[in-house]
Structures are given as C-alpha cells and as structure tokens.
A and B are shown apart, each in its own frame.
Chain A
Amino acid sequence: MSGSVPQPAEPGAASPVDPVAPIDRTGGYLGPTGAAAVAAASRATPARWWLLLRKATFWVGAIIVLFWVVCAVFGHLFAPYNPLEQQLLVNNQAPSGAHWFGTDPLGRDVLSRVITGARDILIITPLATIIGTVLGTALGLAMGYIGGWFDTVVSRVVEAILALPFVIIAFLFVVAVGPSVGAITIIIGLVFTPLIARTVRTAVLVERHQDYVSASRLLGEGAARVMFREILPNVMPAIVVEFTVRLAYAVFALVTLSFLGFGIRPPTPDWGADIAANYSGLLAGYWWQTLFPALAIASLVVGVALLADSIEQVLSA
C-alpha cells in the first residue's frame, strides 16, 4: 500500500485524510477523529485540558490507573502475604477469609501476587511507550517532511514490518535476545516505532502545506529546525493521543508476551505469567488462580484505554 489511498485505522492512528485538503478553521467540520483533526485542533487554547475533568470516562480511567499505580509502588507494604512465600499445606485453597483470592498450587496467596504483580508492568510499559514515541516521532517527522524517495523507501519497510502481527515480531526478538526486563522494554518500544511513525507522518503531511512552514523555510531555517521547532509543536496533540493509545497496547503486548512465556519470568509475581502457570488448574476447577489475575489485567487495560479515549476526544473535539 502506498500513502495514496486512505490508510488504515488503528485506534488513535490517522483516519483517512487528504494531505493536501485545506483545513476549515472556521469552527466547521473537521472530519473524523484522527491525526489531521487533532493537529488542527492543536491551534486551539490549552484550556482544552480542563475539559477532561468533565468527562466521566476520564475519571473512571484515572481512578483505575491510580489504584494500580498505588499497588505498584506500595503494594508490598499492604499485601496480606509475601507474594513469593510458599505454604504447601494450604495450596489450591478456594477464596476464604484468610486468603480472599485463594491460593495457587504452591500455596502462595493469589491476592498478594495480584497486588504486587502491578509493579513490573507499570515500570516496563511507560518506558517502552516513551521509547517508541520518541523514535517514532523522529522517524515520522523525517518521513513526512523530507518526503520523496526517503519516504517511499521507509514506508515500504514500515509496511513490511506492519505485515506481521506485533506479538509475533516481539516474541521473535525476545527469543533472540532473551527475556530480560530491559530487553522486553526496548523490544516493545521498537515494535511500536513504525506504528507511531505512520501516525506522525500523516499529521506532518497536513502541516507541511501550512503557511508557517513555507515562511520558516523562506527565512532560511534548516530542515531539522523546521521539523523540530516549527512542525513538532503543532503535531504534539496527535503525539500525545498516540502515546496514551500505545500505552494501553504496551500493556496488552507485555501481558500477552508474559502469557506466552516470553515476558516476565516466574517466580516474579506477574499477571500474564501466573495465568499461564495456573491455566491447567482452571480446567480442574481452580478458577480463582487465573480469573483474578485476568480481571486485574482487564481492569488496567480498560483504565488506560479510557484515559486514552477521553484525551483523544478532548484534543480533537
């Protein structure tokens, strides 16, 4: 696919936009939510951010995420048991007063593991998303602004990489370099780079035809300065939206890798790995060992996704 046909629509990614279409700044129709609309909206006032506080989805998302952040930071202080402590005499216990979420096959407290399992996820995913956003922004700016053969070649490579599901790319790399926390962080960041680059490129294509870009070029500003000092601030809202959307997907990617055995390794408490480890017990009726970590994952990803959705709505409204 080349850029000539309306491009796909990852959530948060660019909706089909005509890069040369004039943007109506009279407050009229801006088209579907996407990089172009967001970029256009960036010329509005910063007061938009206050609109977030009026959104129910923002509050729900923020409270859920805050809850898990507290668990990640202070979880080991208020978890009822040591998440690594094995009490083999009380293994596979159903939820009870002593163990609210029951115990796993090694007699470890499921509630304590769920609480402390938030930590690695909330360290790795924001870092990975920052790596992907920084690299993707630089690449997308260059593709959109320099254009020409550079854009064509890089677009082909990006397209070839995007032809593979990110889970598969990620686990190939993890198998290659080994599953350390640092490696996983960098790999998720690198896998997100082309996705983010594509969105930024679309936003830049819209900006490139604005008068201020021509003006700064005529003033003799270099390419790097035009890209980073002139265009970047104007595509920033698109990048912010992309960052929050990708953050939700980083969680998605990380827990999926852990579930497949390519992520965080036991015995470190981890939701995805715990589900994989206790999955056979689920079919034997020990549902609490997998259901509670699963609900923890679901709540965190939904929380982050709601935050991302409300930020996107506010910035592109």
Chain B
Amino acid sequence: MAAFLLRRLGFMILTLFLLSLIIFFAGQILPGDPGRAVLGPFAANSAVQALDHSLGVDRPLVTRYLSWLGGVVHGDFGKSYAYQSAVAPFVRAALINSVKLAALAFIIVVPLGIIGGVIAALYEGRAADRAISVTGVSLSSVPEFVSGIVLIVIFGVTLKVLPVTASAGPGAGVFNQFRHLILPAIPLVLVLFGYIARMARAGTIEALNSDYARTAVLKGLPEATVIRRHVLRNSLLPTITVIATQTGYLIGGLVVVEVLFNYQGLGNLIYKAAQGKDFAMLEAGVLIIGVVYVVATLIADVLLTLLNPRLRIGGTE
C-alpha cells in the first residue's frame, strides 16, 4: 500500500514537472515582446529593451525556466508585466472565486448525475433509461456559453428573476453571492450531468450483472437491499474517478462561463493574460489549473484504492 502510494506520488510529481515544462515553453512561443506589450507600439526600442532587461526576459531560455521553477516551488510566481506587481495575490483571489463557482456546480450536479445514472441503469433499455441517456448525451455536448445565452435570455432578460453578472460586488453577503452564481453554475451542471450519469449508469449495470448481485438475489434478499448493499457500493466507485477527472474539464468550462458572466475567476484571469501576453500571470494560472487537476486525480486514485481491496493488493499492472 505504501509502495503504491509512493509510486502514485512519484508519477504525480513527474506529471507536474512535464506540465511545468510544457507551460513554460508554450508561454515562450507566444508571439510578442513583453516590454513592447507593456509600453505600447510607440515606445522607443531602447526603452523596450531596457524594460525587457529589467524583467529578465532577455536571458537564455533555460536560465529563465530554472529561475521561474525555483520561484514557483517557493510560492513565488513572478511579476505580472501588465500590473507591475506580484502575480500570486491575483491568482489566489481568482482561484477562490473559481472554487466557489465550481463548488456550487459540483454540489448540484454530483447527486443529480448519480441519481440519474442509477435510475437509468435500473430501467436499462426502457424509456426512462433512453430519456436520461439521450438527455445527458445531448446536454453534455452543448457548449457552456450556448446554454448560458439561453439561460440569460430566459431568466435574466425575459423573466428578470436572476442577475446576469456573476460577481455580487465587494462585501456582498453569502446569499447575494450565491444568487449571482446560480446562472453561471447551471451551464457547468448541464455539461457535467451527462458524464457523471453515464458513468454511474455503466458502473451500476456492471454491478447488477455481477455474480455477487445474482447470488444476493438468489439467496432471497429483497431487491432494495441488493441494490443498496451490493450494487451501489460497487457501482459508485468508478463514478468517483470520473468526478475527479472532470475537474480538468470543469476548469476549461470555467474559462467560458467566467468570460460570459464577467466573473473574476481563474478562467477569466488566464483568458485576459493570454490576450495581454502577460506571461507570468498566464503561466501561473495554467500551472495552478494543472496542479488542481493532478491533485484531484491523485485523491480519486487513492480513494478508489482505499475503497477497493482488489486494487489495493494487485495495484500494479
């Protein structure tokens, strides 16, 4: 078990290292000169070069990568070219905002998706199953900004019952914040519902068809007991992994939703940084997303292993 966890942790660190490489060098191929981006098209070349030098962007690539990585492991993500101040506080504030939005979406979608998937599995091949499955497939393919527009037209413009911007403004109460986050959360819920329901359905059908479920039925246990004690315990395992792996997607969805609803989250931060060629901000934002995803998958793996003795023992290929 300990060896398994160490192996997992090692892989996680390796993945994060590769990710930092990819992010740093992807950031470098973005066209445009940071000094030029800050000073504008009419600044003198000498001023641009001086700023580049003080920002350190004229040093060799490998030197810059190492000093960047060295800073990152100490929590220093560098200085934003656009704001001329440390990146970390911006990223932290944006992360907190995004977590609020993502948490609301998850709290709504996880129970809905699991219930939907289990119902579909119990009525496999019948109308209820088809309805849930087709709805899920359809909803999860509609981009967030599309469902967001439809929701804004219905609830914001026509009925005028919900605010169409996500940010409740500074010092707003919890309830007010929550009210502003409802519309932005729904597009995320709609996309995720299909994934989670699909996985819960597949896991439940597999468990229903298993030998142990058949044994439980044949020894005369009531159906409800079989489902609760034997089927669900096994079927919800894979669903946990899916939920964790969807955090990566969820953050992608956040970019779109945060731009649409003008919410100051991580997605919006990355979007604006990419437009403004604010490398330090961009790299920090993208790296945080990668870390969140990798940690989420690790937690899911560990959870899955703890809950499943078969994997705990034979944990390697």
Contacting residues, chain A, for B255 (C-beta < 8 A): 165, 167-168, 260
Asked whether B19 lies within 8 Å of A163 as measured between CB atoms, the reply is yes
Among A3, A163, A294, which residue has its beta carbon within 8 angstroms of that of B150?
A294
Question: Closest chain B residue to A29 by CB distance?
Answer: B209
Q: Is B22 an interface residue (CB 8 A)?
A: yes
A231 to B274, CA, bound (A): 42
A152-182 vs B, Cβ < 8 Å mask (1 yes, 0 no): 0000110111111111100111011010000
Contacts of B203 in A (CB 8 A): 32
Is the pair A287, B157 in contact by a Cβ cutoff of 8 Å? yes
**Bound complex: CA of A272 vs CA of B19, how far in Å?**
30
- Which among A15, A167, A275, A290 is the interface contact of B252 at CB below 8 angstroms? A167
The closest CB in chain B to the CB of A2 belongs to: B11
B84 touches A (CB below 8 Å): no
Contacts of A282 in B (CB 8 A): 149, 152-153, 157
Asked whether B149 lies within 8 Å of A290 as measured between CB atoms, the reply is yes
Are the C-beta atoms of A33 and B202 separated by less than 8 Å? yes
A1-59 at interface with B (beta carbon < 8 Å): 1-11, 15-16, 19, 29, 31-34, 57
Q: Mark A281-306, 1 if CB is under 8 A from B, else 0.
A: 01101010011001101100110111
Q: Tell me which residues across on chain A come within 8 A of B286, comparing CB atoms.
A: 164, 168, 172
Is B238 touching A287 in the complex (CB atoms < 8 A)? no
- Cβ of B271 < 8 Å from any Cβ of A? yes
Contacting pair B248 A32 (CB below 8 A)? no
A7 CA to B241 CA in the complex, in Å?
Answer: 8
Known contacts A32-B205, A259-B256; is-contact A168 B30 (Cβ 8 Å): no
B293 in the interface, Cβ–Cβ < 8 Å? yes
A301-B317 in contact (CB<8A):
no
Give bound CA distance, A308 to B133, whole Å.
13
Given A15-B202, A168-B286, A298 and B18 contact (CB-CB distance below 8 Å):
no
8 Å CB interface, B16-49 against A = 16, 18-19, 22-23, 26-27, 29-31
Bound Cα distance from A39 to B4, whole angstroms: 30
Q: Are A11 and B194 in contact (CB under 8 A)?
A: yes
B232 in the interface (beta carbon within 8 A): no
Q: A298-B146, A306-B138 are in contact. Are A160 and B270 (CB under 8 A)?
A: no
**Pair B143/A259 contact, Cβ less than 8 Å:** yes
> A174 — nearest CB in chain B belongs to which residue?
B274
Give the chain A neighbours of B27 by CB distance below 8 A. 172
Q: Known contacts being A252-B141, A306-B138, is A8 close to B11, with CB within 8 Å? A: no
CB-based contact B137/A5 at 8 Å: no
CA distance A6 to B244 in the complex (A): 13
A146 to chain B, nearest CB (A): 15
B187-202 at interface with A (beta carbon < 8 Å): 194-195, 198-199, 202
CB closest chain-B residue, reference A20: B317
B262 → chain A, closest Cβ, in Å? 10
A249 within 8 A of B: yes
- A157 near B248 (CB under 8 angstroms)? no
Contacts of B50 in A (CB 8 A): none
- Hey, what's the 0/1 contact readout for B239-276 against A, CB within 8 Å counting as 1? 00110010011011101100110000000001100110
Contact B150 A6 (CB under 8 A): no
Find out whether the CB atom of B18 lies under 8 angstroms from the CB atom of A157: yes
B7 at the interface (CB under 8 A from A): yes
Residues of B within 8 A of A272 (CB): 145
- Interchain CA distance A297-B270 in the complex, whole Å: 25
A31 touching B206 by the CB < 8 A rule?
yes
What distance in Å separates the Cβ of A288 from its nearest Cβ neighbour in chain B?
Answer: 9
Q: Mark B164-197, 1 if CB is under 8 A from A, else 0.
A: 1000000000000000000000000000001100
Whether B142 lies near A301 (C-beta < 8 A) is yes
Q: Given that A5-B304, A165-B251 are contacting pairs, would A255 and B143 also be in contact in the complex, using a CB cutoff of 8 Å?
A: yes
Decide: A4 near B316, CB < 8 A? Known: A11-B194, A260-B256, A305-B137: yes
CB of A230 closer than 8 Å to a CB of B: no
B134 close to A (CB within 8 Å): yes
Using A9-B238, A168-B255, A168-B289 as known contacts, say yes or no to A176 and B19 having CB atoms under 8 A apart. Answer: no
B152 near A304 with CB under 8 A, answer no
- Minimum Cβ distance to chain B for residue A20 (Å): 9
**Does any Cβ of B come within 8 Å of A256's Cβ?**
yes
On whether A9 and B198 interact (CB within 8 A), knowing A256-B256, A305-B137, the answer reads yes
In the bound complex, how far is the Cα of B242 from the Cα of A16, in angstroms? 11
How far apart are A215's CB and chain B's nearest CB, in angstroms?
24
Report yes or no: B290 in contact with A163, Cβ–Cβ below 8 A. Answer: yes
Interchain CB contact under 8 A, B11 and A156: yes
A309 part of interface (Cβ distance < 8 Å): yes
B14 at the interface (CB under 8 A from A): yes
A248 at the interface (CB under 8 A from B): yes
Across the two chains, which residue of chain A brings its CB closest to B210?
A: A29
> What 9 pairs across the A-B complex have the smallest Cβ distances?
A165-B252, A32-B202, A8-B245, A305-B141, A160-B18, A294-B149, A167-B252, A301-B141, A163-B293
Q: Known pairs A282-B157, A294-B145; list 10 more (Cβ under 8 Å).
A: A2-B11, A6-B238, A9-B242, A156-B18, A168-B252, A175-B31, A178-B31, A283-B156, A287-B158, A291-B153
> 18 A-B residue contacts at CB 8 Å?
A3-B317, A5-B301, A7-B241, A9-B242, A160-B18, A162-B248, A163-B248, A252-B142, A259-B259, A260-B255, A275-B146, A282-B157, A294-B150, A298-B146, A298-B147, A301-B141, A302-B138, A308-B137
B binding-site residues for A, Cβ under 8 Å: 7-8, 11, 14-16, 18-19, 22-23, 26-27, 29-31, 133-134, 137-138, 140-147, 149-150, 152-153, 156-158, 164, 194-195, 198-199, 202-203, 205-206, 209, 237-238, 241-242, 245, 248-249, 251-253, 255-256, 259-260, 270-271, 274-275, 282, 286, 289-290, 293-294, 297-298, 301, 304-305, 311, 315-317
